[in-house]
Amino acid sequence: MNYIDLFFCACSILFLLLMFLKKGRHYTVFHPLNIVILTIGFEFIIKFLWVTFGSPLDTINLPFTYSLLFITIVVMTVYFCLFIPETYLFNLTRPRSVDQFVISPRTAFFLIFSGFLLNAGFAVISGGSPIYGLQNPIEFRIFMQRNGMFYVEFLIFFLLIAGMSVISRNAIMNSRLLSMQFIVPYILAIYVALNSGLRGRVVEVVILPLLVFAIIRNRVPKITLAVLGLVFVPFVVAFGMYRDAVRGNSLDVGETVDFFSKAFDSSSLDFLPIFLHRFDAFDNFVRVMEKGPKEFHYFQSFFDFVSQPIPRFIWSNKPNNFTSEMTSQFRPDLFADGIALTFSAFSESYLNFGFIFGAIILGIFVYISVILLQSLMSRSESRQSSLIIFCLLYQYPFVALSAGFINDVSTVIVILSLAILGGFRFFSRFRFS
């Protein structure tokens, strides 16, 4: 790493620190701006570890410097946008009526139990076992996606989030986090998340009560957060190792437990590269800038977005989303196996809008997302509908920056959230006893 690279790294980290000092320090870690700061800062930490312990890129060449400059412009744009008055954007999301359609704790448990039945049912259909999603995560995900069940997956996810956000709020407000009314649905929701085959889903469900606590109490228990952080990092890596190892060979419950018990028998030097490969979206950005895709037109991924809501079993030849398209061009072997690599919003914005405009547009997009989510978060304490939608959307800045504007996760989250928000707006016209 040369002195120019170090300079751009220092500039980005400085502006991230200024963003935190200007605004982020007044809020909890779950505030959208702090999520942005942590996401970009985390990528710099990963890159530092790669450079220290041996980067997968054999040579640190000119595109690496350009990529650092691009990210620096993005971070600077977000920082200077923070000086813009937020009143107009807050008015765009201000509710026109009070919540009249309110979910009771009993209904919330019914939502979670419905998600459990749907998840177990599809697991039996795909693999003959109600825990097939845990026994063979990749094959279960491929079955769901190739049979037009992708939206059903996120419907199940919505049922979990909606139910647990209401139950968590009720338990926190009444100081009943140790009651069976909270513990039973919480365990059920974690089981469904595990059986979905998506490790990110598990993390989101586990930390959901902590998120709701942060919204209601405006603080986060730091010890609890630190413990969860220390647990989740090895879990994500171990689950990835397990997922790849058991593909095509389902394990029973005993074999699954045995695999996880032996996951960390190898040395930390074996563990570190797996961890870095899983979270590093930076190198793919460098590859995009260095080689570029074989064919990619300006604004292409945004035009492809229009086709994404259509299930592939209806339109078998529909265009790939951005991450799938990049994987097919850079790693066709993985794409053939149904695996998509992570190409961040940095890559997507750069290819769609060019270098300068791409960096500025991405910075403005991040700022608008932060402000809109902040507005939603500020109403979540008193409005149940706002709480549910925020719990669905709060991770969007992380998903977008890590995996791109338009990918399977972010597309469905936004579409589903808008549909749910429209439903709340519709039902709020009526009074329910």
pLDDT for the residue numbered 53: 58
Please state, in angstroms and as integers, the Cα–Cα distance from residue 328 to each residue in 247, 286, 316, 318, 334, following that order.
21, 17, 16, 14, 8
- Highest-pLDDT range among 91-105, 178-192, 397-411: 178-192
Least confident of 69-78, 162-171, 418-427: 418-427
pLDDT digit string, tens, across residues 82-95: 887 765 555 555 55
Question: For all residues of the chain together, what is the average pLDDT?
Answer: 76
- Highest-pLDDT range among 117-131, 134-148, 328-342, 373-387: 117-131
pTM: 0.79
More confident residue, 322 or 247: 322
Least confident of 74-88, 158-172, 272-286: 272-286
* Closest to 282 in 3D by CA, of 41, 52, 76: 41
What is the band of 409 on the pLDDT scale with cuts at 50, 70, 90? low
Q: Quick one: average pLDDT of 341-359?
A: 85
Q: Quick one: average pLDDT of 223-249?
A: 73
pLDDT for the residue numbered 433: 37
Least confident of 39-43, 103-107, 323-327, 393-397: 323-327
Amino acid at 114: S
* Closest to 361 in 3D by CA, of 152, 369, 407, 43: 369
What is the band of 354 on the pLDDT scale with cuts at 50, 70, 90? confident
What is the band of 427 on the pLDDT scale with cuts at 50, 70, 90? low
The 8-class DSSP code of residue 179 comes to S
Amino acid at 268: S
pLDDT for the residue numbered 184: 92
pLDDT for the residue numbered 114: 92
* DSSP symbols for 290-333: HH--SS--TTHHHHHHTTTTS-TTT-TTPPP-HHHHHHHHH-HH
Please work out, in degrees rounded to the nearest 5, the angle formed at the alpha carbon of residue 134 by the alpha carbons of 187 and 258. Answer: 95
Is the C-alpha dihedral spanning 394, 321, 368, 427 positive or negative? negative
Q: Quick one: average pLDDT of 205-223?
A: 86
For residues 366 and 349, the answer to whether their CB atoms sit within 8 Å is no
pLDDT digit string, tens, across residues 109-168: 999 999 999 988 988 888 888 888 877 887 787 777 766 676 777 788 888 888 999 999
pLDDT for the residue numbered 136: 81
Question: Around Cβ 215, how many Cβ atoms within 10 Å?
Answer: 25
pLDDT at residue 275 tops 70: no
More confident residue, 431 or 429: 429
Radius of gyration of the chain (CA): 22
Contacts of 408 (CB under 8 A, 6+ apart): 145, 150, 308, 321, 323
The 8-class DSSP code of residue 342 comes to -
Q: Quick one: average pLDDT of 240-250?
A: 66
What is the band of 279 on the pLDDT scale with cuts at 50, 70, 90? low
What kind and span of H or E run contains 356?
helix 355-378
Distance, in Å, from the CA atom of 274 to the CA atom of 281, rounded to the nearest integer, reads 13
More confident residue, 421 or 348: 348
pLDDT at residue 37 tops 60: yes
pLDDT at residue 62 tops 70: no
Question: Around Cβ 377, how many Cβ atoms within 10 Å?
Answer: 23
